[in-house]
Structures are given as C-alpha cells and as structure tokens.
Homo-oligomer: A and B are copies of this chain.
Amino acid sequence: MANESTDKNSDKHGDKNNLRIKAIENGTVIDHITPGQALNVLNILRVGANFTNTVSIVMNAGGSRGDKDVVKIEGRELTEKEVNAISLISPKATVNIIRDFEVVQKGKIETPDSVCGIVKCINPNCITNSSEPIETRFVVTENEKKKTLALRCVFCESVLTEDLIQFIE
C-alpha cells in the first residue's frame, strides 16, 4: 500500500515526504537491473494491465541515469526460463525470492552458456521459424567490441548482437 504525504507543513526531508512501499510477504525482488530495463523485465514476466498483484518499480534509482532499476513483484516466483531471459538484457541483476517476509534465496543471475526456447531467430529461413516443431537454441557469447552479450543460433549460425529484448519471445 502506498502511504504518501507531501503537504507543505511536513518536514522536507522526513519520513512524511516519502512514498513508502511495504515489504512483500511472498514474491520476488529483482534488483540491480541495468538502468532503463525495468519495463523490459516486466515484458519478459508478462506483467501488464491484467496482472492483479502489487508490483513496485523504480527506474534509475539514485537520480539521473542512476545506478539501477528495481522490480518487486508480490506473489510471484520466477521460472528458470524467465531468469535466463532477464540475464540477456540485464546480466548484473540479482533475484531474491521472498517467503513470509524473509529472503529465502538470494543470488546474482548467472548468464547461461546457451538459451533454449527463449529467443526467436532473426533469420526467417532458419528451421526454427519453419513449421517444424524445433525449439530455438542459441549459444551465448560476448560482443567484444561493445562488451555486451551476443547470441549465435546453433541451427543457422545467425548472430544477434543488439537490442536482444526484441527477439525475446
């Protein structure tokens, strides 16, 4: 629940000026998200207008192009596939699982060596874009020039290097 007070008589730097968001009882805190990627994380998690649990998001925490984004989702734990997808757009993120107000699992996301069924191949002629029932599979490498992640399709060797979010299914 948001508890907000910004009236003129309140202490300028006191508690009353804060929007305070309650701790979540059960759910997931995704912290240290690359600044600007919080909304893409919500897209990966399919959290939109129809999601009914409480979600708190801070983008650019710490000021202009701050050091991170944060997403807290009540009543939701992430699947391995979702964590892998997040790792592609935000390799330094951490995922903390909360149960009964306590952190029961805390950890940095590890970028997997390969990702299956997460990313759509850019090549329209790739067998994964045909009617064959074949799951996509990409080897995760580094884009050395830009120090970002790159993905190589094991079927057609196409390489995805930029804006990976647009290829995440």
Contact = CB atoms under 8 A, between A and B. Distances in A.
Contact of A61 (B1, B35, B51, B75): B1
Given A4-B29, A6-B96, A98-B6, A52 B60 contact: yes
A160 to B, nearest CB: 18
Interface stretch (A19-27, A107-115, A126-134, A135-143): A19-27
Nearest to A21: B19
A146 interface: no
A61 B72 contact: no
Interface stretch (A42-50, A80-88, A147-155): A42-50
By size class, the interface of chain A is 35 or more
Interface string A12-42: 1100011111110000010100011101101
A60 to B, nearest CB: 5
Contacts of A49: 36-37, 39-40
